[in-house]
Chains A and B, each alone.
Chain A
Amino acid sequence: MLKTNVVVIGAGAVGCAVARELSKYNVNVIVVDKNEDVGGDASKSNSAIIHTGYDATPGTLESQLVVAANPMYDEIVRDLDVPFKRIGAILPAITDEQFEKLPAIKEKAFKNHVYDVEFLTGEELLKIEPNLNPEVKGGLYIPRESIIDPFILVQALAENAYANGVEFMLNTRVTDIKTENGKIKSVITTAGEIETDYVINCAALYCDEIAAMVGKADYTVIPRKGQFYILDKNTSCQVEHIVLPIPTKVTKGKLMCPTIHGNMLVGPTAEDLPDKTDKSTTAEGLESIAIDVRNLVPNVNLRDTITQYCGLRPNRNPEGLHVDLYDDLKGYVNLSGVRSTGLTLSVAMGKYVVQQILTDGAGYTLKSNFIKTRKGIIKFSEQPREVQDKLIKEKPLYGNVVCRCETITEQEILEAIHRPLGAKSVDGVKRRVRAGMGRCQAGFCGPKVIEILARELNKDATEVTKHNAGSYMVTGKTRD
């Protein structure tokens, strides 16, 4: 039987942030996830925004964590080499009714200790964001709202945790948790039983199912679907800030913003669902995005879309973010209600959860040899010409461009596959180096990526998957 001190269930942003924080201590940690890659669910399909928490409910744990997390990103992205930009958000009021709501929104921001929110006139807003609805009456500017590469954030947290000794068991599903005398005993997985002192439930969408294994499911998770459009980098109508609608009582609404890689992101919808696996876009959902976003940015050209996707926010019923430890079940930490702010608050949550365990008496001591930094994969396309020349001369596969749209070279794909916790699937490659994320959506590079994955992982092409088991890309050889 495997033995460890802490099992983290879930390798999303929160699970990986908890693991990385734990890896600063002299403690054995195993992260278990059912998916073949880290960041496989909610952490990969969201709006890729690092929030300030200006609009959170003041005084809640969620508000505290989001507000605390935002300033942490300057250091995190530097240490872990994560693409990130503080582009700021604007909240334009188009109607008089919306305009009247601005003071209350600003007041709430201040209650959340987000003091750098400023009021701008319609004229000022149009100056910094010329594609806004010209009828804009005025609005708020929230300078620290930021954009990030969410895939790289999770990979970076995981890779750095791994470099500091955390073990990852991917493609591994937790089937049960054993307890003994009011204490955690072990976690049963599809890859065997793991004896452990602590279990940290970071299973997001499935956290209620994990909690039920130890009788702590006093809530349920209701997936809230969010559909998005991604537009071509060349689309005619672009914005430079995160353009947010004034929220209504029902929804925070649909936004438009650039992605860290220069595409435009438009969405999301908010639809409560019964099915945790329903990640399908719908004609109605996508149409509703078109209608709403045109109120903010009338000339947005959704015909320039290169993809649409759907994410599920793990909303809690009853609502609210919770981190629970139990007197009658020592060693069990339950996280629930980590929803749309989850990506942002992950890094603060890591620290918070570890502090809870330390306070609980875990007694872990800090390592003297913690490796603080992680280097990402060099992006050939972003290098100056002389550096590109040098790279090709050092490693000739930099001269072999596989993905035309994003100019991704074969060398970058090899590094995505062969680095620690590397890519094992077509989507794994895509989320590490962006091969297939451009306008042709893998039309050209797809066949080559299958070939490279098969060659590098020493597999038959039929064993290459898009993501999880069962998502085989091809079915066999052609006839001889």
Chain B
Amino acid sequence: MYNIKCDVAIVGGGPAGLAAAVSAKENGAEKVLIIERDSSLGGILQQCIHPGFGLTRFKEELTGPEYYSRFTAKTDELGVEYLLNSMVLEVDSENKQVICTNSEYGLTTVSAKSIVLAMGCRERTRANIVVPGTRPAGLYTAGSAQRLINRQNIMVGKKVVILGSGDIGMIMARRMTLEGAKVVMVVELMDYLAGLTRNRVQCLDDFGIPLKLAHTITAIEGKERVSGVKIAPVDENKKPIKEKEEFVECDTVLFSVGLIPENELTKKAGIEINRVTNGPTVDQYMQTTAPGIFACGNVVHVNDLVDNVSKESEVAGKYAAEYALGTLTKTVKEVAVQVGRNVRYLCPHKLNIGDKEQKVTLYFRVLFPENNVVLRALDGDKKIAKKKELRVNPGEMCSITVDALKITSNAITVEVVKEA
């Protein structure tokens, strides 16, 4: 078996892994190695050829490939090393080893001082949400269709129904239309949009694609290839109203019904997984419950903006470097992070407070949409941060920043309230 030694090993060369690598290098780690299963770096951004990336970070609108190129330019400049076409089979959290395949070297063991998990997420499927009917050709997750179209130049169908109003679904509605397909409609179970409002405007409204809120697909039809779907409105319990079912002809169905952090390696490594996010439990250093194993990006929780992923991953990279160098601040006190009113989950899940000044940004999602609200953080019952928002909704991540050293109690709570 081939052996490689490094300071920080990063599993995954997508936006999270790239940002973590740059940051680890900039924070003093000497040898930083990215292990990537694809034949090139960039991860899912390679197939995101549409613009809309980087508005927060670079104050300009970039395509996916343009966005990650800014990072690969940096990794090249800083001398970050990488192994491509290498599938990680196992992360040994105890010995800080990563075992991966590589066609050139054979099975390869990477021994590191710290490890960053940046495997991203996968798409929820038709079967996960149990859509009944037949199993013909022509059923794709939005992301696989996007890969076929944007990376393999292959069209998947001509007449399309899309289930789910997530960002990928809406972006694919536009993409399919631009490629000459007829997108019959986008069907959304909830009575509000799942993705970003700007995507509804730019991808559906601008192309006259109907959005059916509070509807679902009740059956897939077709024996060899999809011949159509049955759709129906849903009642307040999200149950389809059978009497109002109607048939919609199509040859393709795209599913954009949610993303799941991909944590098979994390679980096998014995790292604690948070039940709400399906990602590893992390502290403000993005360190998991296994010392020296960090995690960032969509493997921790699913983000809507890559800009946030980059920011969070820089945190992971920085502290992974500090861990490798032995300079990571010792924990003086543990503080729990708790969800308050209209908060579904928070990330990080806990704070390991040391004796150094640290601003900690807590990212979170709300449970339901609301207008004119105040986001606030409470230290015990003392308000330590607040922020006004005109509108919050589950599709768009919220954040609030607190001063870690000033926390006096053992738990901080984040809540969304109607008034200050």
Interface residues of A (CB under 8 A from B): 234, 277, 279-283, 285-286, 305-309, 385-386, 388-390, 392-393, 396-401, 404-405, 407, 409, 426, 439-444, 446-447, 450-451, 461, 465-479
Contact = CB atoms under 8 A, between A and B. Distances in A.
Given A280-B219, A400-B85, A309 B135 contact: yes
Interface residues of B, number: 56
A444 B122 contact: yes
A143 B147 CA distance: 48
Given A234-B267, A465-B137, A307 B127 contact: yes
A305 B132 CA distance: 13
5 A-B pairs closest in CB distance: A399-B103, A470-B224, A401-B87, A466-B137, A471-B224
Interface string B255-268: 00000001010010
Contacts of B123: 440, 443
A280 B106 contact: no
A338 B221 CA distance: 28
A308 B251 CA distance: 21
B127 A474 contact: no
Nearest to A480: B153
A468 B104 CA distance: 37
B32 interface: no
B152 A389 contact: no
Nearest to B218: A283
25 contacts: A280-B219, A280-B221, A282-B132, A285-B132, A309-B135, A385-B1, A385-B99, A388-B89, A392-B101, A399-B101, A401-B37, A401-B101, A404-B262, A405-B264, A407-B87, A440-B125, A443-B123, A466-B137, A470-B224, A471-B136, A473-B156, A474-B154, A475-B251, A477-B153, A478-B149
Given A392-B106, A407-B89, A444-B122, A286 B147 contact: no
Interface string B307-327: 000000000000000000000
Interface string B199-240: 000000000000000000011110111000000000000001
B289 interface: no
B148 interface: yes
Given A286-B130, A399-B106, A439-B122, 11 more contacts: A286-B132, A399-B85, A400-B103, A404-B262, A426-B137, A465-B137, A469-B224, A474-B157, A475-B155, A478-B179, A479-B180
Nearest to A388: B107
A476 B152 contact: no
Given A305-B130, A407-B87, A447-B148, A476 B155 contact: yes
Contacts of A386: 1
B157 A475 contact: yes
Interface of B is mostly: loop
Interface centre among A286, A404, A405, A440 (most CB of B within 10 A): A440
Nearest to B133: A280
Nearest to B102: A399
Contacts of A447: 144, 147-148, 151-152, 154
B288 interface: no
B331 interface: no
Interface of B: 1, 37, 85-87, 89, 99, 101-104, 106-107, 122-123, 125-128, 130, 132-138, 140-141, 143-144, 147-149, 151-158, 179-180, 218-221, 223-225, 240, 251, 262, 264, 267
Q: Which residue of A386, A461, A469, A475 has the most chain B CB atoms within 10 A of its CB atom?
A: A475
Contacts of B140: 446
Given A306-B127, A392-B103, A404 B224 contact: no
A472 B219 CA distance: 20
A213 B168 CA distance: 53
Contacts of B130: 286, 305, 308
Contacts of B180: 479
A392 B107 contact: yes
B144 A443 contact: yes
A349 to B, nearest CB: 28
Contacts of A305: 127-128, 130
Contacts of A286: 130, 132
Contacts of A234: 264, 267
A109 B31 CA distance: 67
Given A447-B152, A471-B137, A474-B155, A397 B103 contact: yes
Contacts of A399: 85-86, 101-104, 106
A234 to B, nearest CB: 7
A285 to B, nearest CB: 8
A426 B148 CA distance: 15
Contact of A446 (B126, B144, B240): B144
Given A470-B224, A475-B158, A477-B154, A308 B101 contact: no
Given A280-B219, A478-B179, A472 B225 contact: yes
A308 B125 CA distance: 12
Given A308-B130, A401-B87, A447-B148, A385 B107 contact: yes
A397 B147 CA distance: 22
Contacts of A444: 122, 144
Contacts of A400: 85, 87, 101, 103
Contacts of B85: 399-400
A397 to B, nearest CB: 7
A450 B154 contact: yes
Contact of B137 (A396, A401, A440, A472): A472
Nearest to A468: B224
Contact of B152 (A306, A441, A451): A451
B45 to A, nearest CB: 16
A308 B127 contact: yes
A265 B153 CA distance: 37
B137 A473 contact: yes
Given A286-B130, A407-B89, A479-B180, A389 B107 contact: yes
